[in-house]
Amino acid sequence: MFILHLEDSRADQRLVRQCLRQGGMDCEIECTDNLADFVHLLQTHAFDIVVADYYLPGFTAMQAWEQVQQLQHPPPFVLLSGAIGEAAAVEAMRQGVADYLLKDDMARLPHVLTRALEVAEAHRLRQEAVLALEQSQRQLAELTEHLQQSIEQERAAIAREIHDDIGGALTAVKFDLSWIARNPAQPEGIQAHAQTALEMLQHALGASQRIMMNLRPPILDQGLVAAVQWLASNFTQRTGIPVHMECTRNRIDVDPAIQVVVYRTAQEALTNVSKYAQATQVAIELSDGEQVLTLEVRDNGCGIPPDARGKPKAFGLRGLAERARTVGGWLDVSSRPGHGTSIIVSIPLQPSPQTTDHEGRAT
């Protein structure tokens, strides 16, 4: 413990050292008796606590306390005086002084300092928790706004696709069928319009399949393992980057909501690799050991810069973390510049119900 002792009596300085030593406190004490030196020491050293007499030559401890309060992280301030009255002590504590002690009761000084440090540490932790909560709330609000905008943009995109592709194709089919109905005696024209209508219907079917693929990939109907394998294969075809996939089993049956979370996590992770990682290889591991479904996507790329994840508009990984939380899971991201990135989503699974044989034994 590093203590700054503001005291003009050499005898009292020695008494404080002796008292703390007898109290078993391992500390280093810096003493001064004038305000200028006191301010200089505060600005050049990091003290754990300040102990001050109340009346000093030309100033009081409250003037010293004003200087302490100007620090970014002020240490606790304890009054140790033989001449302070109760009213002055109460007023000092009202202004933020941690505690006060009469010199006649100096044997209690180790306890008072210990308590002041504990209170200061609790206050610091509480402030950090409040700041962390405020930051989390800001990030959640930003993410909520981003997700809402994304939903609206996705709805608008789907509406455009339905209007432009499906709606346009069906309108063309309607015109062709109307022409056929009006001209039943023209076989050649009927054949041409029927062929055009078939082509438009095929175009509409392709558009509807594309829209459904974006909403919920049909590949998930074949199981999570097959879906992730398809993602890996498709990624390699598009980018030329090889993907090595390992899975504990050929099929992992989980709740559809969990399937979507894991699939979207793998999809987003591979998208990030293609956009930012500059990687030459990717590894995917999928397992369901110990009742926890785990997906890891790991690359050997350039890694994520330390400040990238804290940017206000960095919604990708934040969105994956929120998506994992919707099914009771969590997201871990490990990355070092130049050493690649590992994205892991872990989701607890419900234990499989036990079955019994004909004699009632659990199997």
* pLDDT tens-place string over residues 285-335: 999 988 999 999 999 999 887 766 555 555 667 788 888 988 999 999 998
Position 192 scores a pLDDT of: 87
Position 214 scores a pLDDT of: 67
pLDDT tens figures, 8-36: 989 989 999 998 888 888 889 999 998 99
> Residue 188 above 60 pLDDT?
yes
**Kind of pairing between the strands at 77-81 and 49-52:** parallel
Position 351 scores a pLDDT of: 60
**Among 67-76, 108-117, 184-193, where is mean pLDDT lowest?**
184-193
pLDDT tens figures, 123-160: 889 988 988 888 878 777 776 776 667 667 767 777 77
Mean pLDDT of 103-125: 90
Position 344 scores a pLDDT of: 95
Distance between CA 48 and CA 77 in Å, rounded?
A: 10
Mean pLDDT of 259-278: 91
What is the identity of the amino acid at 94?
A: R
Q: Are 246 and 281 in contact (CB under 8 A)?
A: no
**Band (175; pLDDT cuts 50, 70, 90):** confident
Percentage of the chain modeled with pLDDT above 90: 37
What is the identity of the amino acid at 89?
A: A
Tell which wins on pLDDT, 320 or 209: 320
Burial class (CB in 10 A: 0-12, 13-18, 19+), 230: middle
Position 356 scores a pLDDT of: 38
The 3-state DSSP class for residue 3 equals strand
Tell which wins on pLDDT, 228 or 185: 228
Position 215 scores a pLDDT of: 66
Percentage of the chain modeled with pLDDT above 70: 90
Q: Are 201 and 230 in contact (CB under 8 A)?
A: no
**Band (225; pLDDT cuts 50, 70, 90):** very high
> Residue 361 above 50 pLDDT?
no
Distance between CA 69 and CA 119 in Å, rounded?
A: 17
